[in-house]
Amino acid sequence: MTDPAVTTARSRRTGDWPLVHAERAALAADLADITDEQWERPSLCTGLTVREVLAHLTAGASLNAVRWMAGVIRCRFDFDRQVAVRLAEQLGTTPAETLERFRRVVPSTTKPPLPVVAMLGETIVHGEDIRRPLGVRRAHPVEVLTRVAEYYRGSDLVVVAKGRVDGLELVADDGPFTTGSGPLVSGPTLALVMAMTGRAAYCDELEGEGVEILRGRCGTA
């Protein structure tokens, strides 16, 4: 296993884009042979299918700051509406087209006005929103998950994470990630990341007296 400190140092030199691209490529590969029924399966994002979440990821990789702001203004600062409009733009007419659109943005470095690590987190979290209902497992590099966990522990940008784990001690049992103080929540780094971002289903993989507190803070994803 690669030393997370080495990955962090490399990330500072090269940026997080190679990690984003690797996660997108892995997700595209995982979805290459799924059925039409699986494409329409509900994701972990309430109200969105697997296919719609993938289109959302494509939209995020297709919007620069100018287009993002133009869309926000056009939607009168209704951010949920902006998400829905951009998702619809990238859905395509068939699941095959949805996947092909996503494949085209795998190497993209276009993004809304967010740090690149936020794009990495979105790719991992939404990738799991898709994979879990399909029964697909990815062995994410623990050093990459640690990078994302360290970002989320200090941020409520886009998704509430820092506030969700306030007053809890989080400890990964498969890597070096640890943060906070209070009732303990321990388990795999991926489960911690997903619970930090509101995915209650992943609390089943966690242990400690703080798990139920965290589960209660997980709202609609």
Confidence of residue 15 (pLDDT cuts 50, 70, 90): confident
In the chain, list all ranges with CATH 1.20.120: 4-134
C-alpha span between 158 and 114 (Å, rounded): 9
pLDDT of residue 26: 98
> Which single residue is written with the structure tokens 């990815």?
138
Rounded mean pLDDT of 32-53? 96
Distances (CA, A) of 97 to 51, 55, 143: 10, 10, 33
C-alpha span between 191 and 202 (Å, rounded): 5
For residue 17, the SS3 value is helix
DSSP code of 178? E
At 70-129, the pLDDT tens digits run: 555 565 555 566 677 778 888 999 999 999 999 999 999 999 888 999 999 999 999 999
- Phi, psi torsion values for 150, nearest 5 degrees: -65, -35
Q: Where are the alpha helices (DSSP H) in the chain?
A: 4-14, 17-30, 36-39, 50-60, 65-74, 79-91, 95-105, 116-134, 142-152, 189-196, 211-217
The encoded tokens of residue 51 equal 């296919």
Q: Which helix (H) or strand (E) holds 187?
A: strand 184-187
CATH class of 4-134: mainly alpha
The encoded tokens of residue 184 equal 């303990």
Average pLDDT score, the chain? 89
